[in-house]
Chains A and B, each alone.
Chain A
Amino acid sequence: MKVPALPSTLSANPSTAGNAAPAKRSLPRVEPASIILPLLAGAGVLLIWTALSQTVSPDLPSPLRTWQESKRYVLDPFFKDGEMSQGIGRLAFYSLMRVIKGYALALLFGTPLGFLIGLSKFASRALDPLIQVLRPISPLAWLPLGLVIFQRSEPAALFTIALCAMWPTVLNTAVGVRSISTDYLNVGRVLNLPRRKMFFSIILPATLPYVFTGYRLSLGIAWLVIVASEMLTGAPGVGGFLWQEYNSLVYSHIILSILTIGFIGFLLDRLMGAVEARFKTT
């Protein structure tokens, strides 16, 4: 059976970068343009934002007002006045813990499933169509089902994160197993390696770069899903805070939440990118 067609973001091929000679680790030379240009772009966004808040949408708080109303949350990120009023660091921590749990579940189920599909033609023919149907389902659709199944919001959120985030891991692992060079497999065949040894000495290490590409993409999705699931369940976290502040008409905090989500997502991607790069070179 053919490898399922993947969107280009999911089929990032780790082997191309993997063959590169190990780069000498030296401090990257920072070009002035790489600092000035993003600053200019940021200033442009602030300008448009200000213009919008002054003209067509008076409810949109200006950058200055957003900062003034959010400053306490940022400068004292771990304060806690009560359930409804906590620093942004504390809220982000709740969300991160939830993401880590759901993400761990995604990897726990996704990795073996990916190996199964990659190794077994039978499993691949049985499961591929199912995955193609399940993969595009939005977290907003899974969450109510999770609530029906588990009756409580926390496991329902984890269920949703795991179910949405596992597909890149499943598909990349399967693709990785299928793209193992026949030469490596032939080495194992000539040596008559037993199945266990064949898996742990050859198949697993040959697939790892693909697996970690899957892990990075899965983490990105898990972080996307957290906001939706917190908004629907009202669980404490950045997403829950965003929805609560919308209902309390504190619009500046919506922007604070959005920026927090963006920065943390960026950091998570960088982190997994570094982990992925380690496995690429081996």
Chain B
Amino acid sequence: MSFLELNNVTKRFSTPKGTREVLRSVNLSVQEGEFAAIVGYSGSGKTTLLSLIAGLLRPDEGEILLQGKPINGPSPDRGIVFQNYSLLPWMTAYENVHLAVAATLPGKSAGQQREQTEHYLRLVRLDHAAWKKPKELSGGMRQRVAVARGLAMRPKILLLDEPFSALDALTRASLQDELAGIWERERTTVLMITNDVDEAALLADRIYPLTPGPGATLGAAIPVEIPRPRVKRELSLSPAYQKVRKQLVEFLTGDHRATVSGASR
């Protein structure tokens, strides 16, 4: 049994022009401890898919199971790092992370909660900026606070919604490396959504391509058999990387309908 499982999940939105099917029969399975990525075009329903898994939206058809149990409603079980960081601007970096610690470890003493909060800030190397408000932090630092908050929820699965898409290329590259490092130490199950093929290949164990919407659905998983730790500079020379990239690009640009049938493994 997989850790996270989506069976034939369909989501429609009603618009003034009628019903729009955003996701159609999405199947997905993520194993425990794995780093999975979903790659797709902007506007293809990626964020909708993640909101469904987070429990912020409900599917119209199909079911979402975490450890075999259906998901009903949001929970810190599925910690989420939002695309736009969503840090609370009236709180410092420390308070933003502490909110998550206090919510998920309510029984712990104030001292233990403080220790946990400091631990997660250290993990993203932000202990020096703990008392700054989000608007005093750079985009990269804000996103690191958001990652720390996501991890501080001690989720069974960490959901990342295009976590680095709003950052400049240099910051993005260094944060990708940092995330890879954190994941190798923590081994949390991660599901990341991205529109960056290289980012997915650098970080993920398996990549699911998402067809363009409306009626988007996932293609068959593409395994990434590049040994870790992966080094970005050497990535482009690796044959395994070139294979993954070719498969992904072919699927995303070519006739994807043919391969959809074998969606889940």
Contacts and interface: CB of A to CB of B under 8 A. Distances in A.
Interface in B55-105: 55-56, 73-76, 78-80, 82, 84, 86, 88-91, 99-100, 103-104
A202 B88 contact: yes
Contacts of A138: none
B46 to A, nearest CB: 16
B221 interface: no
B56 A186 contact: yes
Nearest to A22: B135
Contacts of A21: 135
Nearest to B106: A194
A191 B103 contact: yes
Contacts of B86: 181, 183-184, 186-187
A207 to B, nearest CB: 11
A206 B82 CA distance: 18
Given A183-B84, A202-B88, A190 B104 contact: no
A191 B99 contact: yes
A208 B56 CA distance: 26
A189 B74 contact: yes
A140 to B, nearest CB: 41
Number of chain B interface residues as a range: 20 to 34
Query: Is chain A's interface secondary structure helix, strand, loop, or mixed overall?
Result: helix
Interface in B127-170: 133, 135, 153
A125 B60 CA distance: 29
A187 B54 contact: no
A189 B86 CA distance: 13
A192 interface: yes
A205 B73 CA distance: 25
Contacts of A120: none
Nearest to B79: A190
A151 interface: no
A243 B88 CA distance: 52
A70 to B, nearest CB: 48
A282 B82 contact: no
A177 to B, nearest CB: 15
A275 interface: no
Contacts of B88: 184, 187, 201-202, 205-206
A206 B88 CA distance: 9
A192 B56 contact: no
A161 B33 CA distance: 64
Contact of A190 (B76, B84, B90, B135): B76
Contacts of B80: 186, 190
B75 A201 contact: no
A22 B153 CA distance: 31
Contacts of A282: 89-90, 133
A192 B90 contact: no
A257 to B, nearest CB: 42
B82 A192 contact: no
Nearest to A21: B135
B100 A191 contact: yes
Contact of B75 (A190, A205, A208): A190
A193 interface: yes
Interface in B190-206: none
A189 B88 CA distance: 13
Nearest to B136: A22
A205 B75 CA distance: 23
A192 B89 contact: no
Given A186-B56, A191-B99, A191-B104, A205 B78 contact: no
Contacts of A206: 88, 90
Interface in A1-31: 21-22
Contacts of A189: 56, 73-74
Nearest to B149: A187
Contact of A201 (B55, B79, B99, B135): B99
B190 to A, nearest CB: 16
A181 B135 CA distance: 16
In the complex, the 9 A-B pairs of residues with the closest C-beta atoms, listed nearest first: A191-B103, A183-B86, A205-B90, A189-B74, A190-B74, A282-B90, A187-B86, A190-B80, A186-B56
Interface of B: 54-56, 73-76, 78-80, 82, 84, 86, 88-91, 99-100, 103-104, 133, 135, 153
Interface of A: 21-22, 181, 183-184, 186-187, 189-193, 197, 201-202, 205-206, 208, 282
23 contacts: A22-B135, A181-B86, A183-B82, A183-B84, A184-B88, A186-B56, A187-B88, A187-B99, A189-B56, A189-B73, A190-B76, A190-B78, A191-B76, A191-B100, A191-B103, A191-B104, A192-B76, A192-B103, A193-B99, A193-B103, A201-B88, A206-B88, A282-B133
Given A181-B86, A190-B75, A282-B89, 19 more contacts: A21-B135, A183-B84, A183-B86, A184-B86, A184-B88, A186-B56, A186-B80, A187-B82, A187-B86, A187-B99, A190-B54, A190-B56, A191-B104, A191-B153, A193-B103, A202-B88, A205-B90, A205-B91, A206-B90
